[in-house]
Structure 1
Amino acid sequence: MNYLDYHVVLPELDKTNDFIFETVTTDFSNPKKVKKVSYTRKIAITRYKNNGNDMLLQLFLFEIEIRSNLSIENIFFLKKIGSAFDEIEVEINDYGKIIKILNFEELGKRWEIIRAKLAIDNVGLVAESFMQNITNSLKEEHKIISLFSDYKMFGLYFSSLYRNSYAVERKRKIIDCDGTLVAERFYPKDEKLDAYLIEGIPVENNEKNDFIKYEGRIEYRDDQIELATLEIEKEKSTILYNINKTSL
Structure 2
Amino acid sequence: MITEDSFLHERYLEPALNKTQSYRFTTKTTDFSNKNNAIEKDFVRNVEITYLGKNKDLLIFDVFTSNIVFKHNQTIVKEKILKEGALAFYDIELGVNDKGEIVKVFNRKEIENHWKQVKFEQKKINSGDELDDFFAAISDLLNNEEQVISFLNSRNMFGLFFHGLFAKPESDKIPQKRTTAIIEFDNIIVNVEIWMSKDAPQFLITAQKSDDANYIPNDNEIKKYIGEWIYNKNSQLEEVFFEIENQNLNIKYNVLWVG
* Partner residue, 2:157: 153
Q: CA deviation at 1:202?
A: 5.5
TM-score by length of 2: 0.84
**SS of the residue aligned with 1:211?**
coil
- 5+ residue gaps, structure 2, are 1-8
C-alpha contact 2:220 2:247 (8 A) present in aligned 1: no
Cα 1:170/1:74, change in 2 over 3 Å: farther
Distance 2:121 2:178 in 1: 40
Cα 1:27/1:51, change in 2 over 3 Å: closer
Question: What is the percent sequence identity of the aligned residues?
Answer: 28
Letter aligned with residue 44 of structure 2: T
Aligned ranges 1:1-248 → 2 under 5 Å: 8-49=12-53, 55-164=59-168, 166-170=174-178, 173-180=181-188, 182-188=190-196, 190-192=197-199, 194-201=201-208, 204-207=215-218, 209-221=220-232, 222-247=234-259
- 5+ residue gaps, structure 1, are none
Letter aligned with residue 233 of structure 1: E
Per-residue CA deviation, residues 176-230 of structure 1 (Å, 9 max, x unaligned), is: 3345455533221x33251111123466211453210011111011112110011
Q: Based on CA coordinates, which of the two structures has the bigger radius of gyration?
A: 2
Per-residue CA deviation, residues 62-93 of structure 1 (Å, 9 max, x unaligned), is: 01111112222211111011111110110111
Distance 1:126 1:134 in 2: 13
**SS of the residue aligned with 2:156?**
coil
